Amino acid sequence: MKHEFAGIGMTSARTRGRMVDRLRQQGIRNEEVLAAMGSTPRHIFIDEALAHRAYDDVSLPIGLGQTISQPYIVAKMLELAVGAARRDKVLEIGTGCGYQAAVLAQLFKTVYTVERVAQLLDRARVKLRDMRVNNTRLRHGDGFLGIPDAAPFDAIVMAAAPPYVPEALMNQLAIGGKMVFPVGTVNQELRMIERSEEGFTESKLERVRFVPMLPGLA
């Protein structure tokens, strides 16, 4: 699962190191997640004009009304997701620029990722191909529906906030799996749903701010 992004953005290795140090100070403890974040060149996924802010702890616009989440939130969600019983398949809802998929690709055997905006998906596909990330499966689709034909997933991570918890996604979670997601409209919160033989358990974690999750294709 380990990818080496040799020769890509190595000038920012020190900057990425500072970002990882900050994530540790913010409470991220999983060393695999920290290593994956530290080795992924976030600046190549955003507009060149904003590249100097790539490793700041802020969300940044990536065009078409979408954003790349702040590093802390990405790390927090992935730290929760890697606690799943197995790490064979993960489903990402909202490919966006492809950054989170590149990090997930170092933590899970196969990454399935869905994006409703075709233009964003095409850009992400090129970035991931250029970086030789070969264990991602990109789909143009409605995130509310997930990818039933590839289910069940050991983890599901959502990069946009639905107004309610999509039942279709819960049903695509494997036994022992975890779904980490923001939910809400004006007041959003990060939640985690865990699936066991007995059913589903939901935890409320912290206040967050994500772009809204929209149905359909664009």
Spatial distance between the Cα atoms of 191 and 51, rounded to a whole number of angstroms: 30
Q: Which two tokens stand for residue 102?
A: 């590149």
95 CA to centre of own chain: 7
Catalytic site residue from 12, 39, 59, 69: 69
Question: In 10 A of CB 199, how many CB atoms?
Answer: 7
Residue entry with tokens 């664009």: 218
Closest CA to 189 of 76, 83, 89: 76
Question: In 10 A of CB 126, how many CB atoms?
Answer: 11
Half-sphere exposure of 121 (CA within 13 A, CB side): 20
From residue 134, give the alpha-carbon distance in Å to each of 2, 83, 130, 137. 11, 23, 10, 8
Q: Is 69 a catalytic residue?
A: yes
49 CA to centre of own chain: 23
Which residues does the annotation mark as catalytic? 69
